Amino acid sequence: MELVLALRRAGVTDPDVVATMERVPREAFVPEAFQDKSYQDITLPIGHHQTLSQPAVVGLMTEALELDDRKKVLEVGTGSGYQTAILSPLCRRVYSIERHAPLLEEAEKRFEKLRIRNVTTKVGDGTLGWDAQAPFERIIVTAAAADVPPILADQLSPGGIMIVPIGLTDDFQTILKVVKTDHGLETEELRDVNFVPLIPEEATGT
């Protein structure tokens, strides 16, 4: 299968992550015009200048979170809901923030259709995190930031992991794995990527 081969090429080896990505129907999150490309290892547009990440990147970021069924996860950038659907069976609960209300509405319909029950969502500015539900054992950011967002780092549990793309130009973006230790934040570069920017602004219904 093309998706599994893409995961192997990216170095994704966690059997739970691979099995989950095999089960979740990516075509359910892909716009009608791109259905024939659902399982290609490419980024696809989903409207509102947002994208559906390529499967290899989704797999890599998910694996790097080191999830289990006790973890509470904050996802910044619901988008189509595909990454959310991958996280859902691998953790206790996902709290997901999306700044585009129409995208979130469509994602919520997909969650309902797929019977995904352990996801809580809201429209908002993801750079502010979700203070009322903090702290989180895991945080995943699905848009590129200039640096590790300090508010999100504050909402990370001790020993927690954040996965975030860093870099605001097409020339250089890299996925960072951030671990919160007693001595501060330890970071590790995972791979180069190309994400839409994380934009701090007021939530909007447009």
pLDDT in tens, 67-76: 999 999 999 9
CA distance linking residue 92 with residue 107, whole number of Å: 19
The fraction of the chain above a pLDDT of 90, given in percent, is: 74
For 57-192, CATH number out of 3.30.365.10, 2.60.40.10, 3.40.50.150, 3.40.50.1370 equals 3.40.50.150
CA distance linking residue 185 with residue 199, whole number of Å: 23
Question: Facing residues of 100 across strands?
Answer: 204
pLDDT band at residue 173 under the 50/70/90 scheme: confident
| Contacts of residue 123, Cβ cutoff 8 Å, sequence gap at least 6 | 97, 98, 99, 100, 101, 104, 203, 205
pLDDT in tens, 17-57: 999 999 999 999 999 999 999 999 998 999 888 889 999 99
Average pLDDT over residues 100-119: 97
Average pLDDT over residues 111-122: 97
Q: Which residue has the higher pLDDT, 160 or 168?
A: 160
The fraction of the chain above a pLDDT of 70, given in percent, is: 91
- Rounded to a whole number of angstroms, the distance between the first and last alpha carbons of the chain is 37
- Contact by Cβ (8 Å): 68, 33: no
CA distance linking residue 161 with residue 167, whole number of Å: 19
| Contacts of residue 61, Cβ cutoff 8 Å, sequence gap at least 6 | 53, 83, 140, 142, 163, 175, 190
Looking at every residue in the chain, the average pLDDT score rounds to: 91
- Contact by Cβ (8 Å): 125, 203: yes
Query: Among all residues, which ones are annotated catalytic?
Result: 53
Distance of alpha carbon 156 from the chain centroid: 16
